[in-house]
Amino acid sequence: MDLNADLGEGFGIWRLGDDEALLDVITSANVACGFHAGDPSTMRRVCAAAADRGVAVGAQVGYRDLAGFGRRHIAYDFTELRDEVTYQLAALDGFCRLYRTRVRYLKPHGALYHAAATDETQAAALVAAVNDVDHELPLLCSPGSVLAQLAVGAGLRVVAEGFADRGYLPTGALTPRTHPGALLTDPDAVAAQAVRLATERTVVAVDGTVVACPVESICLHGDTPGAVAAATAVRAALTAAGVTLTPFA
């Protein structure tokens, strides 16, 4: 099982989360590419630290929305979104190559992640960008989403992702952040959900429903309070359950 986290989400002198501590725990790093968060110096720093630890680097691409942290929906047209995703991918890959590594996968962030789960135009723009840049690049996304379906149809590799620190609806979608139960912050609860995802491929929704969730990678949000403690608990719990942690890419 792969364990991923969102990193590099500061900007300028402002830092969000403890990237270096999380890199000691995770196997894949979703690095912000400067549109929803991040900047060139932050991207370089995280790429260097990830390469030093043997952590796979993925491009976490988002809307051009620094003020809203990429969590506000933008009604892009296909061409503009495709090109902005291509721009972000190429920028991060440039920093990776300084440290003799490369971008290993793509994951959309925030509102783009949710839009691409249901919106064919935005999902198609992501697929087109990956096809243009590197057809071998996997897409990390929610299982059964429109993005996953279009990517498979285009011959791309899809890696299904589950969330250790987010609540789920009975439909299998994530609970909106404005609703109760959207975030899990207790490290023991986060670890328990991660173990269930890894060993049973299911998750318990906010109403108690057991939902199938066949995943290859488990995500932790680096901006969640106590993220390092939760990640440490998750890694220990998965190891104790006999789960081998390794990058999918």
- Give the separation between CA 217 and CA 159, rounded to whole angstroms: 7
pTM of the predicted model over 0.85: yes
- Provide the 8-state DSSP code for 163: E
Residue burial 127-146, b: 16+ Cβ < 10 Å; e: rest: bbbbeebbeebbbbbbbbbb
Could you read off the pLDDT tens digit of each residue along the chain, which spans 249 residues?
999 999 999 998 888 889 999 999 999 999 999 999 999 999 999 999 999 999 999 999 999 999 999 999 999 999 999 999 999 999 999 999 999 999 999 999 999 999 999 999 999 999 999 999 999 999 999 999 999 999 999 999 999 999 999 999 999 999 988 888 889 989 999 999 999 999 999 999 999 999 999 999 999 987 777 899 999 999 999 999 999 999 998
- Give the separation between CA 41 and CA 247, rounded to whole angstroms: 25
- Given this model, what pLDDT does residue 181 score? 86
For residue 218, give the nearest of 190, 191, 241, 197 by alpha carbon: 197
- Give the separation between CA 82 and CA 163, rounded to whole angstroms: 26
Q: Name the β-bridge partners of 220.
A: 5
